[in-house]
Amino acid sequence: MSDMERAADAIRDGDLVVYPTETVYGLGADALDPDAIERVFEAKGRDRNDPISLAVPTVERAFEFVSASPREKRFMREFLPGPITVVTTKREVVPDELTGGRPRVGVRVPDHDLALQLLDTVAPITATSANVSGRPSVTSLADLDPEIHEAAAVVLDGGETPGTASTVVDVEAGAVHREGRDAAAVRAWLNDHR
Q: List pLDDT tens digits, range 97-117.
A: 999 999 999 999 999 999 999
The string of pLDDT tens digits covering residues 3-55 is 999 999 999 999 999 999 999 999 999 999 999 999 999 999 999 999 999 99
Band (162; pLDDT cuts 50, 70, 90)? very high
Give domain limits for the chain.
3-192
pLDDT for position 54: 98
Question: What are the residues whose beta carbons fall under 8 Å from the beta carbon of 146, sequence distance 6 or more?
Answer: none
Q: How many CB atoms lie within 10 A of CB 35?
A: 11
Prediction pTM value? 0.96
Percent of the chain clearing pLDDT 70 (strictly above): 100
1 has a pLDDT exceeding 90: no
**How confident is the model at residue 194, as a pLDDT?**
83
Question: What is the model's pLDDT at position 106?
Answer: 98
Q: Is 48 left (phi over 0), alpha (psi -120 to 50) or beta?
A: alpha
Please determine, for residue 76, whether its predicted confidence score (pLDDT) is greater than 90.
yes
Would the pLDDT of 69 be above 90? yes
Mean pLDDT, to the nearest integer, of 122-149?
A: 97
Q: Which fold has domain 3-192?
A: DHBP synthase (3.90.870)
Q: Please, which residues have CB within 8 angstroms of residue 188's CB and are 6 or more apart in sequence? A: none
Q: Determine the pLDDT at residue 120.
A: 97
Q: Output the furthest CA–CA distance in the chain (Å, rounded).
A: 49
Burial 92-116 (b: 16+ CB within 10 A, else e): eebbebbbeeeebbbbbbbbbebbb
Q: Are 150 and 63 in contact (CB under 8 A)?
A: no
- What percent of the chain stands above pLDDT 90? 99
Q: What is the dihedral of CA 130, 136, 141, 146, to 10 degrees?
A: -70
| Average pLDDT score over the chain | 97
